[in-house]
Amino acid sequence: MSKRNRWLMGAAVVAALPLAVSQAWAQQAAPAATPQAALTAAEKESAKKIYFERCAGCHGVLRKGATGKNLEPHWTKKLPDGTTQEGGTTKLGASRLEKIIAYGTEGGMVNFDDILSKDEISLMARYIQEQPDVPPEFSMADMMGTWKVIVPVDQRPKKQMNKFNLKNMFSVTLRDTGEVALIDGDTKEIRSIVKTGYAVHISRLSKSGRYIYVIGRDGRLSLIDLWMEKPAVVAEVKVGFDARSVDTSKFKGFEDKYAIAGSYWPPQYVIMDGETLKPFKIVSTRGMTVDGEYHPEPRVASIVSSETKPEWVVNIKETGQILLVDYADIKNLKVTTIESAKFLHDGGWDASKRYFLVAANASNKIAAVDTKTGKLAALVDTKKIPHPGRGANFKHPEFGPVWATGHLGDAVVTLISTPSDKPADAKYKKNNWKVVQEVKHIGAGNLFVKTHPKSKHLWADAPQNPERELAESVAVWDMADLSKPKKVINVAKDSGLPATKAIRRAVHPEYSADGSEVWISLWGGKTDQSAIVVYDDKTLALKKVITDPKMITPTGKFNVYNTQHDIY
């Protein structure tokens, strides 16, 4: 059976799973399912580790769902015949769960049959039929116990001590080794490999461009000083057990003064000193959703720093609330709460840097916040499960300024008209906050779209697609005429690396500082050689394949200059 047919089997089954936490809670009084053999202590520990590494990001620590489906036992528990209908809802047994885990779904869940063994897939099907454990909290005392200043501020360089072109340095996540590789964009050489947290989710730059803040899935936040002769970590702190987001203060007068990091567990954010990471204040995000229901695990999704006001835009996944956190006086913190939609995920600025657009991916909407007025500007309906990364800004030949998002659950790239105060753009105002075009992609499973002000191209990946050919490829469009056929580039083939059982997923196109090159990660298995494949953006020709035995499972890449200035 082909992988596509196996995927369709899984997709048919997963349609029975719920989309919303509110629906899940309504079923909690369902009759008890047939008991199954309890997991041994060793099995449970193994399953917990796999769940944290592979599942918690989408399904939640408490398994209540967000980008992924609700996986609480009242949906997954096996009944006598393996499945039954209760109130119109199909409940799933182990055999069906195994198919979903193995073959993936149309909603953007990858197939795990080339990542996990058959025994591990069976174990996970049993594990998610048991009640989830509730992890402990993480207090200020806990946080302070992890805080380390490795190089005090007064002992750090007073000027750049290396000769690297820092503007074109790339901070590259080495997912499974818990490291970041700092790669010289000019020479393509690895300048430093820095030990950080596990599976770093993002790298963010200080306003000055000196410091890189990297945060791992295990909640470890590391501060890297690029001015050192060999860039290295100068401070670190653990902000929780599971985390994704970090940013710094960028408003005039507050440059590099503060940092903020958000956790998935416990659901909270912390404000710290920008140069030492000393924690100052922890704020819980538990509370009511936009539907008026209490949620015990509202995770902090994306965080961005406004330069319009001394504020951070903090997006709370499960509640659908967008917080504008005013850091002018952190002792007397002012927070504006903006209702949008569930479940908030990632997003980016429009070209003017006034509006922040974020995916509410369970609602199939993009929420736009006006940071000047402090209000919701729009809720825009899109195709299934928008997943923009930061998105992409460009001038459409017919519709003017637009911002683009791809989708996990649909094979299109959506273009949304965004406001502009330039007199020449007044004619496009009637289209603002409307979907003006849907460009056909190679398949569902997109994570990132990207362009650059000096480029004529729009790039999009599809790493979450279960088809090898699609997951290992990217699509490129000429923005001057999006009706032209897209160019499909098989990055895995271009790499010249030998074929492997595991899919080498082409992920996260990232531009060089000058917009002349596009870097794409080729993310293989832990034991497979991975690579970064570099293309000439003007000609789309292969330019360089960066490989190294130490470069294991590269995923996100963050060009220092582009990240510092929010260029995408």
**Cβ partners under 8 Å of residue 310, min gap 6:** 249, 251, 253, 254, 326, 327, 328
Nearest to 536 by CA among 504, 561, 511, 513: 511
**Cβ partners under 8 Å of residue 366, min gap 6:** 347, 357, 358, 359, 360, 378, 379, 380, 382, 386, 388, 405, 414, 416
CB 385, CB 411: distance < 8 Å = no
Radius of gyration of the chain from its Cα atoms, rounded to whole angstroms? 23
Question: Distance between CA atoms of 76 and 132, rounded to whole angstroms?
Answer: 12
Can you state the angle between helices 3-14 and 94-103, rounded to 10 degrees? 130
Question: Distance between CA atoms of 356 and 346, rounded to whole angstroms?
Answer: 10
CB atoms within 10 A of CB 149: 17
Q: φ and ψ at 271, to 5 degrees?
A: -105, 135
Question: Distance between CA atoms of 354 and 308, rounded to whole angstroms?
Answer: 7
To the query of whether residue 452 is one of the catalytic residues in this protein, the response is no
CB 388, CB 407: distance < 8 Å = no
* Catalytic residue selected from 74, 201, 387, 457: 387
Question: Distance between CA atoms of 176 and 525, rounded to whole angstroms?
Answer: 9
Q: What percentage of the chain's residues is helix, strand, coil (to nearest 5)? A: 20, 35, 45
- Read off the tokens for 386: 């928008």
CA dist 191 → 212, 290, 520, 523 (Å): 15, 46, 19, 21
Q: Tell the burial category of 99 from Cβ atoms under 10 Å away from its Cβ (0-12, 13-18, 19+).
A: buried
Look at the block and give the residue holding tokens 């408490």.
62
* Catalytic residue selected from 74, 109, 295, 508: 109
To the query of whether residue 59 is one of the catalytic residues in this protein, the response is yes
Beta strands in 143-241 (DSSP E): 148-149, 169-174, 179-184, 190-195, 202-205, 211-215, 220-225, 232-238
Q: Is the peptide bond before 343 cis (omega within 30 degrees of 0)?
A: yes
To the query of whether residue 345 is one of the catalytic residues in this protein, the response is yes
Look at the block and give the residue holding tokens 């292969």.
542
Look at the block and give the residue holding tokens 């916040």.
369
To the query of whether residue 1 is one of the catalytic residues in this protein, the response is no
Question: Distance between CA atoms of 89 and 163, rounded to whole angstroms?
Answer: 62
CB 197, CB 219: distance < 8 Å = yes
- Read off the tokens for 72: 């609480």
To the query of whether residue 161 is one of the catalytic residues in this protein, the response is no
* Catalytic residue selected from 59, 201, 295, 407: 59
* Catalytic residue selected from 1, 124, 140, 345: 345
Instruction: Give the long-range contacts of residues 185-193, CB within 8 A, separation 24 or more.
Output: 185/512, 185/513, 185/517, 185/559, 188/534, 188/544, 188/546, 190/548, 190/550, 190/551, 191/162, 191/164, 191/230, 191/231, 192/230, 192/231, 192/232, 193/550
Using the 8-state DSSP alphabet, how is residue 445 labeled? Answer: -
To the query of whether residue 58 is one of the catalytic residues in this protein, the response is yes
Q: Give the three-class secondary structure for 436.
A: strand
Catalytic residues: 55, 58-59, 109, 345, 387
